[in-house]
Amino acid sequence: MANNERTFIAIKPDGVQRGLVGEIIKRFEQRGFRLVAMKMVQASEDLVKQHYIDLKDMPFYGGLCSFIGSLLMPLNTILQIWEGLNIVKNGRLMLGETNPADSKPGSIRGDLCITLGRNIIHGSDSLDSAKKEIGLWFKPEEMVEYKSCQHGFLYE
C-alpha cells in the first residue's frame, strides 16, 4: 500500500479551547505521519452541516453542527491533512472511539475526553470520506508537497 494515503483531522472547538492542539499534533508526528496542510477556521454552520451530512438523521446532529458552527460565539477549529501508510485506519485508532467512555487509554479520546458531546476531534473514517472532507475544507494549493527527512527511517 502506498505511504501517501491522506486523511482529514479536525480539532474541534472544545479541543482548541482546552489547549490540546499541540498534544494532538505531537501524537501524529511522533507516530511518523506527515502534516501536509493545516489552518484555523471559524466554520459556518452551513459548512459544518455539509461536512456531517451523513449524520443528519442522528439525534445529536443539530447540536453538533451548532456547536462547531456557532454564529453567536464563533469558535475556532483546527483543520489538518495528514499523510502516511494506512493513515485513515491508524488515525481512527489513535483517536479512539467516538464515545470517550468506550475509548482505550493511550488513545486521544481515551486520555483527553470525558463525554461524547465534547470528544475534541474528528477524523475521516474511510478513504472516500477523507477525499470528500479534504475537498470540502481545503483547496489543492493549500497542501504542501515535500519529502520528510525521516522518510527513510519510517518506511522500508
The model's confidence at residue 54, banded by pLDDT at 50, 70 and 90, is: confident
User: Is 60 known as a binding-site position?
Assistant: yes
Average pLDDT, the chain: 90
| Residue 20 structural domain | 6-138
In a domain, 156, yes or no: no
pLDDT at 148: 86
In a domain, 92, yes or no: yes
In a domain, 155, yes or no: no
User: Is 109 known as a binding-site position?
Assistant: yes
Rounded distance, CA 64 to CA 14, Å?
A: 12
In a domain, 123, yes or no: yes
**All three cell numbers of 2:** 502506498
What domain count does the chain have? 1
In a domain, 146, yes or no: no
pLDDT at 37: 98
The model's confidence at residue 1, banded by pLDDT at 50, 70 and 90, is: very low
In a domain, 19, yes or no: yes
User: Is 118 known as a binding-site position?
Assistant: no
In a domain, 143, yes or no: no
Q: Is 51 an active-site residue? A: no
The CATH number that applies at residue 15 is: 3.30.70.141
> Which residue among the candidates 7, 36, 122, 134 is catalytic per the annotation?
122
In a domain, 25, yes or no: yes
